[in-house]
Amino acid sequence: DSSKAVGDQVDWQITGIDPGAGIMQATDRAIKEYGLDKWKLKQSSGAAMTAQLKRKYQQKDPIIITGWTPHWMFQKFDLKFLKDPKNVYGDAEAIHTVTRKGFKQDNPGAAKILDQFHWSQDDMGKVMLATADGKKPEEAAKEWVKKNQDKVKEWTKGAKKGNGKEVKIVYVAWDSAVASTNVIKTVLEDMGYKVTLKQVEAGPAFAGLSDGSVDAITCVWLPVTHKSYWDKYKSKLVDLGPNLKGGAKTGLVVPKYMKDVNSIEDLKA
């Protein structure tokens, strides 16, 4: 019933993702700063959240999610970010590649490739969309790498071959992270490195890098989304800089057919 207040329409629930995600912390802040006292942020996972979005979207039912770009959901569905006049979610961010301390000394070839890895929102979008359409992430990554050898050559320029040397990459099950992780894995393997991927929650990902049990990560969002992790662990980590600049954004997202909801302020009871 679209004549009801938006809160009543969605049971005062924002559909979130994994509790360790920075966007969940930002949404807790948004609930406080905008005075959304009646609202609850529901924990879920990236996959469960997009499945729920798909179900609601097909029925043209209302739903409010924690969303971000780059993400295939914006290609599959007509969605909009709610305006954030208090700028709780921050301005556009960059996605950084980060390694453990000492990785460059131990594995200069792989470190050079990780350092030179950078692509665009469009590039990442292609890999994500292929995966959303049913390709295995590894297959989607391999196809992109095959078609974009000009870019890959820039990343591998001047880097030593791996000869089976191991690289342990950690990531979180966010579709954007799955895309970048599988692409860099393919590139490193093509250069002769032996890559192991480890999927964990955000907290353990940063902890594993800081204690040296894993080598690298390609999905650190700065300066806002992963600030609390970064502040806690940065003295033990090495920031190789952005692998994606432009288009990295988080916030509350709704289908465009929710015409009366355009700003987080519209959620107030």
Chain positions 42 to 81 lying near ligand PBE, rule: CB under 6 A, are: 68
Contacts with ligand PBE, 177-206, as mask; x by CB under 6 A: x------------------------x----
Residue 30: CB minimum distance to ligand PBE, A? 13
Phi, psi of 217 (to 5 degrees): -145, 145
Q: What is the chain's alpha carbon radius of gyration, rounded to the nearest angstrom? A: 19
Q: Which of 188, 250, 258, 264 binds ligand PBE (CB under 6 A)?
A: 250
Taking CB under 6 A as the binding criterion, the range among 17-25, 51-59, 141-149, 235-243 that sits at the site for ligand PBE is 17-25
Please report how many Cα atoms fall inside a 13 Å half-sphere around the Cα of residue 154, on the Cβ side: 8
Whole-number Å distance between alpha carbons of 101 and 211: 9
Residue 72: CB minimum distance to ligand PBE, A? 12
Is 222 a binding residue for ligand PBE by CB under 6 A? The answer is no
Residue 108: CB minimum distance to ligand PBE, A? 28
Residue 269 tokens read as: 């009871």
Is 221 a binding residue for ligand PBE by CB under 6 A? The answer is yes
Whole-number Å distance between alpha carbons of 221 and 36: 26
Helix (H, G, I), strand (E, B) or coil at 55: helix
Q: Which of 6, 23, 53, 195 binds ligand PBE (CB under 6 A)?
A: 23
How far is the first Cα of the chain from the last one, in angstroms, to the nearest whole number? 17
Q: Which of 44, 156, 186, 225 binds ligand PBE (CB under 6 A)?
A: 225
Chain positions 125 to 154 lying near ligand PBE, rule: CB under 6 A, are: none
Helices vs strands, H then E, count in the chain: 12, 9
Taking CB under 6 A as the binding criterion, the range among 14-22, 117-125, 233-241, 253-261 that sits at the site for ligand PBE is 14-22
Taking CB under 6 A as the binding criterion, the range among 5-13, 20-28, 83-91, 103-111 that sits at the site for ligand PBE is 20-28
Phi, psi of 154 (to 5 degrees): -65, -35
Residue 255: CB minimum distance to ligand PBE, A? 19
Q: How far is CA 181 from CA 24, 119, 184, 231, 268, in A?
A: 22, 12, 5, 23, 38
Q: In sequence order, what are the beta bridge partners of 168?
A: 196
Taking CB under 6 A as the binding criterion, the range among 78-86, 169-177, 182-190, 210-218 that sits at the site for ligand PBE is 169-177
* Biggest CA-to-CA distance, the chain: 64
Using CB under 6 A as the criterion, which residues of the chain lie in contact with ligand PBE when the complex forms?
A: 17, 21-23, 68, 174, 176-177, 202, 219, 221, 225, 250
